[in-house]
Structure 1
Amino acid sequence: MQGQREKAQNVVIVGGGFGGLYTALALAQRKNHPPVLLIEPNDRFLFLPLLYELLSGELRGWEIAPRYDSLLAGRGLAWLQDRVERIDAERHQLHTSSGRTLAYGRLVIATGAESNTFAVPGADRHSLGFRSLVDVERLQRLVATLKSQRRPLQRIAVVGAGPTGVELACKLADMAEGSAVIELIEQGPQLLPQARAFNREQAALALRRRDVRLRLRTQVEAVEAEAISLRCHFDGQSTAHSETLAIRAVVWTAGLRFRAPRIDPAPACDSLGRLLCGADLRLQDHSDLFVAGDLAAPVDGVGTAGEAPITATPATAQVAFQQASVLATNLIRSLRGEPLEPFQWKDLGEMMSLGVGEASLTAAGVTLAGPAAYQLRRLAYLARLPGRPHQLKVAAGWLADWRP
């Protein structure tokens, strides 16, 4: 009986990205927190906002990709390197790819997002992504090859002029040092449609200074091993023409898709596949399941997927940072049978990397661009790295590298 009671009071977190890991760390700071198990198949956490600096060599791998066993050591948190395949909400059990069956009292689903190529022919097979250490290594090898060959009209196509595409295009242009043309391809009429006006203007300037070719109103029709087929509309005209470019690589940053593990009974989702949850981050119609990070689609009020208005929260690390504290509180309150808190997202500003040693930011009424913004962005993210011990280790490394 004692073992059953203990199982009913434990918390299992599925996914070790921003939503999952930071919720686990927030729970570890609470006195007498329940037993916590983090399930994540990768051995390293990846701080995605600084992935561009890892690509360009401005930061080192250990700084933005610490090991989970190091981050969780001494915190009273357990980590299982496995992947959850199915969640049985009625039996309070989950099943992993290695064949384990685990019981939970409260479950957090935080499996994040992955690249979405929108079924464009050849895109899955011939495109590179930019969401993993493997992706970084592939791009570094590619740029090194292009610089060593110096052939005319070598091209890298970056698909999607959102934040990831713009930041990546600027870094690649600086790294290539004129050895390749960077083509930034966007289906819509402008780059960074959701960004602040100041950051959008600074991004446009940064792209022009680096001779990045921005192609707006341009749709990707197909991707091949050494070519990309485009359909281009000029100035919103109804007529369009097709064009095929020879390329050395395509990097796809144009969209995200959301896939939770199979959940029985199936929960409500929005049109993107995100899980519908209440303001308290509890999954609709599943009182013991919570959702965090990119996968969470909070709704106002109660209703079906077609009736409830979705509260717009971007799929960013900033949202997951803020959710973690509220979610940790609600998990403990839920286990105690107490009322839960609503999550309210606060927009703290926007920062963008715009090439080696440069950035742009808008926050608290302040706008800044260039090397000073780059340093402020690094310091802001230093304070967001997971766990005080890792923050201090990285800060010490930066101080050791500093030259007046």
Structure 2
Amino acid sequence: MTPHTSSADAVVIVGGGFGGLFSSLAVHRQLPDCPVVLIEPRKQFLFQPLLYELLSNELQEWEVAPRYSQLVSNKGICWLRDRVIGIDRLTHTLQTLSGDRIPWGQLVIATGSKPNDFGIPGVREHGSGFCNLSDVRYLRQLVQGFHRRRHPNAALAIVGAGSTGVELSCKLADLLEGKARIHLIEMGDSILPNSSAFNRERANAALERKDVIIHLNTSVTRVEANRVVLREDDAIAHQGLVWTAGNQPDFPCLQPPPSIIRGRLAVDGDLRLQGSTDIFAIGDTAITIDHPVPATAQVAMQQGEAVGEAIATLRIGEKPPMFQFNDRGEMLSLGIGDATLTGLGITMAGPLAFQLRRAAYLTRMPALSVGVRSAAAWLINR
């Protein structure tokens, strides 16, 4: 952890996900003499779009989860391994779990989201998510257990057929090799409701090819240790359940209370908190009514870059520009060595799409040295 140095002139970033890390790097690049403090309790940054390849051992942990000490070293950024529990907008200070009170000149809130169980009984007790390294380790153990036990009616349930649920279903089907059936349960009438028609069609074909059983228009009423109960008391037996049905914003308490819309911090088009001149909120924690954008890593990365420019503009007394999202398309993993992608004039699926997807993510890694080492490892192991 970088030694803690903060001042009333510092730019403080709360949260070290895509939005927070890219913000800290962008601010340092735009204002190299300005103190920058990144507050994040985890010791490793997580490149979540590549968690599927970590699960299947197509990538190694150092490629997907580099340490913050590595990412911000020699960049003049102070990484404080702590959690923010309160923000005082009037005094320009924040409170951390360890008891520190930290002043700030500009503040960026980028604390992301957490799984949303929608109050459904049993989800927390009997279900796993797929958003961190612990989830990856749990699923690896689950797959190994299915291979050892060889139960004739073994089944794994995945709730939520958005991108996470679909990508995870495809990857797990390849890893299980028929040792357990996968049930993909979706409340809506189609998988990947926000995806392009091409990606949705390719994903449907992949799921069918891998014998994943899809349950559409199906609501979960409760989760038990060995079964998931659906509407009208129908149930599916399982030996493991993964909940990917949705997320909810996760941010510390702010005083005075800010404007909240659909559970997210309301921001103006320049990413500043409504009613504030020096607080920015980005990523899954924020919502802009006039210019809505999806809650994706791609958006958070671009917002992080935009915050660096916006703060630099503020510091010379000018008004920050409006944020403009540049949609670079969608890439989905559809199993080991397979993917589909659309965007920037490209529509492609199969092994080549898988290689292009990985190469594209390498270029977005927040530290070039990590990306270069990962690319070298990929070329050596091909």
Band of TM-score, shorter chain: over 0.9
Q: Is the 8 A contact 1:228 1:244 kept in 2?
A: yes
Helix, strand or coil for the counterpart of 2:361?
Answer: helix
1:295-326 deviation per Cα after TM superposition (whole angstroms, max 9, x unaligned) = 121233xxxxxxxxxx3211101101211221
Q: Unaligned 5+ residue runs, structure 2? A: 1-5
Whether contact under 8 Å (1:117, 1:255) holds in the other structure is yes
- CA shift for structure 1 position 31: 4.8
Partner of 1:321: helix, strand, or coil? helix
Segment of structure 1 superposing worse, 393-402 or 210-219: 393-402
Once residues 151 and 11 of structure 2 are traced to their aligned partners in structure 1, the CA distance between those partners, rounded to angstroms, is 56
Matched residue SS, 2:184: strand
Q: Distance in 1 between matches of 2:332 and 2:271?
A: 28
Residue 76 (str. 1) matches residue 73 (str. 2)? no
> Which residue of the other structure, out of 365, 370, 374, is the alignment partner of 1:390?
370
Q: Percent identity among equivalent residues?
A: 49
Shift, 1:33, TM fit: 4.1
Q: Secondary structure at the match of 1:204?
A: helix
Per the alignment, residue 110 of structure 1 pairs with: 110
The aligned residue for residue 268 of structure 1 is 259
CA RMSD of superposed structures (Å): 1.1
Distance 2:40 2:302 in 1: 21
SS at 1:119 equivalent: coil
Residue aligning to 1:334: 314
Q: 1:127-179: per-residue Cα shift (whole Å, max 9, x none)?
A: 10000000000000000001111011111100000000000000011000110
1:304 is matched with which residue? none
Please state if 1:35 is matched with 2:26: no
223, 226, 241: which one pairs with 1:250? 241
Distance, in Å, in 1 between the alignment partners of 2:327 and 2:86 is: 34
Q: CA deviation at 1:74?
A: 0.5
Please say if residues 127 and 250 of structure 1, whose CA atoms lie closer than 8 Å, have aligned partners that are also in contact: yes
**Residues 365 and 323 of structure 1: is their aligned pair in 2 closer, same or farther, counting only changes over 3 Å?**
same
Q: Amino acid of the residue matched to residue 257 of structure 1?
A: Q
User: Structure 2: which amino acid aligns with 1:211?
Assistant: D
- State whether structure 2 residue 360 is matched by structure 1 residue 369: no
**Aligned positions of 1:169-184 closer than 5 A:** 169-184=169-184
SS in 1 for 2:124: helix
Q: Describe the SS at the equivalent of 1:218.
A: coil
> Is the 1:162–1:193 Cα contact (8 Å) retained in structure 2?
yes
2-structure distance, mates of 1:255, 1:276: 20
Q: Distance in 2 between matches of 1:34 and 1:249?
A: 49
**Does the residue aligned with 2:234 lie in a helix, a strand or coil?**
strand
Equivalent position of 1:235 in the other structure: none
**Aligned to 1:128, what secondary structure does the other structure show?**
coil
Counterpart Cα distance in 2 of 1:331 and 1:155:
51
Query: Partners in 2 of 1:283 and 1:254 — Cα distance?
Result: 28
What number of residue pairs does the alignment pair up? 377
Confirm or deny: 8 A CA contact 1:44 1:67 kept in the other structure. Answer: yes
How much has 1:8 moved relative to structure 2? Answer: 3.2
1:401 equivalent to 2:381? Answer: yes
The residue number in structure 1 matching 2:219 is: 219
Letter of the aligned partner of 2:267 in structure 1? Answer: C
AA aligned opposite 2:235: T
Deviation at 1:294, TM superposition (A): 1.4
2:17/2:46 contact within 8 Å kept: yes
Please give the alpha-carbon distance, in whole angstroms, between the structure 1 residues aligned to 2:67 and 2:171: 26
2:325 matches 1:345? yes
CA contact (8 A) 2:31 2:312 kept: no
TM-score of the superposed pair, with normalisation by structure 1: 0.91
Equivalent position SS for 1:207: helix
Q: What are structure 1's unaligned runs of at least 5 residues?
A: 1-5, 232-240, 301-310
Match of 2:3 in 1: none
Instruction: Decide whether the 8 Å contact of 1:27 with 1:33 is kept in 2.
Output: no
Q: Structure 2 CA distance, aligned partners of 1:244 and 1:321?
A: 40
Structure 1 SS opposite 2:298 = helix
- Which residue of 2 is the match for residue 291 of structure 1? 281
Amino acid at match of 1:224: E
Check whether the contact 1:9–1:335 (CA below 8 A) recurs between aligned residues. Answer: no
Quote how far apart the aligned CAs of 1:259 are. 2.1
TM-superposition CA deviations, 1:308-349 (whole Å, max 9, x none): xxx321110110121122110111222332111110112111
Q: C-alpha deviations, 1:14-70, integer Å up to 9, x for none?
A: 000000001111122225341100000000000000000001111000001000001
Q: Which moved more, 1:133-142 or 1:115-124?
A: 115-124
Shift of 1:401: 1.6
Please give the TM-score of this superposition, normalised by the length of structure 2. 0.97
> For residue 190 of structure 2, what is the aligned residue in structure 1?
190
| Alignment check: 8 A CA contact 1:385 1:391 kept | yes
Q: Report the Cα distance in structure 1 between the residues aligned to 2:258 and 2:31, rounded to whole angstroms.
A: 32
CA distance in 2 between partners of 1:69 and 1:100 (Å): 20
